[in-house]
Structure 1
Amino acid sequence: MHSVAILALEDVVPFDLAAPLQVFDWARLPDGRRPYRVRVCAESPEVRGDGLALRVDRGLEALEDADTVIVPGCAPGSGPTSEPVLAALRRAAGAGTRIASVCVGAFVLAEAGLLDGLRATTHWVAADQLAQRYPDVTVEPGVLYVDNGQILTSAGAAAALDMCLHMIRRDLGSAVAADAARMCVMPLEREGGQAQFIVHEQPPVPRGSTLEPILEWIEDNLAGEITLGAMAARSGMSERTFSRRFREQTGTTPLQWLLRARVRRAQYLLENSDRPIERIAQQAGFGSPTAFRERFRRVVGTTPQSYRSAFHGKARVLAAHS
């Protein structure tokens, strides 16, 4: 079981604390088991925030056996972070622990020196201040979250949900992350702002839409050749009328929808099978491996092989050792 320690500091922002607590707590393996044990810890037994007093049963020693440490933001004017907290974060980072921040929690990571030489984000209101105070940090104010591998930062409480789902997907694959997203009543992925292992969810189709049959047909026939003309003919429309109605109801074009459907199929096969790239290219409807690699990289931001290395079999491996 993966241990997640949420480090609550004085004047903690309640929403920043609740976001990661909710997402990781909702995650479940295919057999129903919890893959994460989430604990809130603090330097002192009681931490105050905006409108709350939080009592915790674990101190900074919780960071020593955690696999992931998350630092929520604090209210403005909370003052410098204590040296024991900074030292505990540095020790955790030195031990290889994954460390993430929510909103202005990035200031704490920067204060500990963990963001030096890295890209990072925070709430846009505080981005200029973070850049001025810590010139060794490359601040990107226009993104939802930044993943540097071991160190992650997010822009705010809502963006922290995206970041946590991204971490779950890295750990366990898209199926577990998608289930956690559904339980949190949110989409699996939003654009993080950098090259990520992401395919956006298809735009929603209105209930009862006349497009539902053709979309089901597309999903059932991804391995074959699907042209705009074939889609239009199956819908009983001209290509022009079909394209116009498709965009009106989905916000995208038929061929863009088809590309993302094929990439999602390829992602699933890369995560859950040992089939060679050439076969996956055919089964997802890309034709040649060269076309598959080029289009997959354009949509997802990485190569099929790199994606497989990151996500293949993660849920099965964790389940076997839980």
Structure 2
Amino acid sequence: MPVIAVLLLDGVPGHHVTTPAVCFGTADRCHPRVSYEVRLCAAPGFRSTGGPAAFGLAAPWGLDGLAELTEADTVLVPGQAVRPGGPPPEVAGALRAAADRGCRIGAFGSGTFTLAATGLLDGRRASTAPGLAAELARRHPRTEVDPDGVVVADGPFHTAAGVLGGVDLCLRLITVDHGVAVAVETERQVFLELYAEGAGAPGGPGAPVGAPVSGDGLGPTLGWLETRLDRPLTLEDIAGHAGLTVRALSRRFRAETGLPPLQYLLRVRIQRAQRLLERGDEPVARIAARTGLGTPANLRHHFQRHTGTTPSVYRAAFRSLVASLAGSGDAAAG
């Protein structure tokens, strides 16, 4: 069974710890031929995750969990506080040793800084969060930095912005391992079921499951956004509905969703496009209008960046998957 070892440095954001387990665990659960073991490996000095809601964690593995990896396994380096000095020597050594054994290594968000500090990205292309790209390029001039935060693969190294705790990178690795159909169904399970049909969450039907339910949270505004995806929305519009300044809104969104407001809005628009592609035959131009993405070209651009495939391929892959699952069910019933 291939191992996905998640390297935990002190202060790693909590959702960067849980997202790989959710993504790879979902792929494992939904597909009989897919099998992953997710292994949490604490680096020396690890005590707890970082904000906005830090929690302690007793990881069952240390760096010895990386030492046991083979060329069939993967190391993931999540984000953490960016420190000019780079990772501790033993962490850098463990990553270099894993690379020497042929392991695949992924890093997302500020985790790319940790990987770059080992020298493993010298002469290679890499990605990080768009807001950190210039700093990564300054600190590591021998690494060619993609400024857009897309998933970049160069040899055994895969790096990305780390949207929603690295889900973009996890889905890309699942695609590499098992193909588009498995990744599409995994993403559908991970993302689309965040929205409960008719749930009594704040904001009415379709509001995100897990949205804050207190009057002080963003739940009402998240529900409001979902009912207005076809309209142009600005930061000022969203802040006005939430009763916050733009700066306070950005802080609140990062604390409660892990994303800035407009990135969260884009992610919800892509999720709505996925649902429309799955459930009907509307042309791409109509879906682009209904989701607020404007033109078919704009929809294709953002859809490709967030899912690794095009709207037409997604629709075909999803329908092929549904047909195959239906066929399996008929066969079992017979």
Q: Which whole-Å deviations, capped at 9, do the CAs of 1:105-143 have from their partners, x for residues lacking one?
A: 011111111110111111222211111111100111213
| 2:188 paired residue number | 182
Partner of 2:135: 129
Aligned: 1:106 with 2:112: yes
TM-score, normalisation: structure 1:
0.59
Contact between 1:10 and 1:78, CA under 8 Å: does it hold in 2? no
**What is the aligned-residue identity percentage?**
34
Summarize deviations over 1:225-260 as a string: whole Å, max 9, x none: xxxxxxxxxxxxxxxxxx98787558556xx99x96
Partner of 2:28: helix, strand, or coil? coil
Q: Rg larger in 1 or in 2?
A: 1
Structure 1 residue 182: Cα displacement: 1.6
Unaligned 5+ runs, structure 2: 194-269, 301-309, 321-334
Task: Mark the CA change 1:186 to 1:141 in structure 2 (over 3 Å): closer, same or farther.
Answer: farther
- Shift in CA distance, 172/206, structure 1 to aligned 2, threshold 3 Å: closer
Corresponding residue for residue 37 of structure 1: 37
Give the alignment's TM-score, normalised by structure 2: 0.57
Change in Cα spacing, 1:186 to 1:64, as seen in structure 2 (3 Å) is: farther
The match for 2:147 is 141
Matched, 1:71 2:77: yes
Aligned-partner residue type, residue 9 of structure 1: L
Partner of 2:96: 90
After TM superposition, give the deviation of residue 159 of structure 1 in Å. Answer: 6.9
| Structure 1 residue 44: Cα displacement | 3.6
Structure 1 gaps, min length 5: 188-199, 219-242, 270-322
**How many Å apart are 1:264 and its aligned residue?**
6.6
Pairing partner for 1:81 from 84, 87, 93: 87
1:61–1:138: structure 2 CA closer, same or farther, 3 Å change rule?
same
**1:154 alignment counterpart:** 160
Amino acid at match of 1:16: H
Secondary structure of 1:52's counterpart equals coil
Q: Check the 8 A contact 1:101/1:152 in 2, yes or no.
A: yes
The answer as to whether partners of 1:45 and 1:56 remain within 8 angstroms in 2 is no
Residues 204, 6 of structure 1: alpha-carbon distance in 2 compared, 3 angstrom cutoff: closer
How far has the Cα of 1:204 moved from its partner? 5.4
1:55 aligns to 2:61 (yes or no): no
Q: CA deviation at 1:79?
A: 5.2
Q: Which residue of 2 aligns with 1:171?
A: 177
SS of the equivalent of 2:48 reads: strand
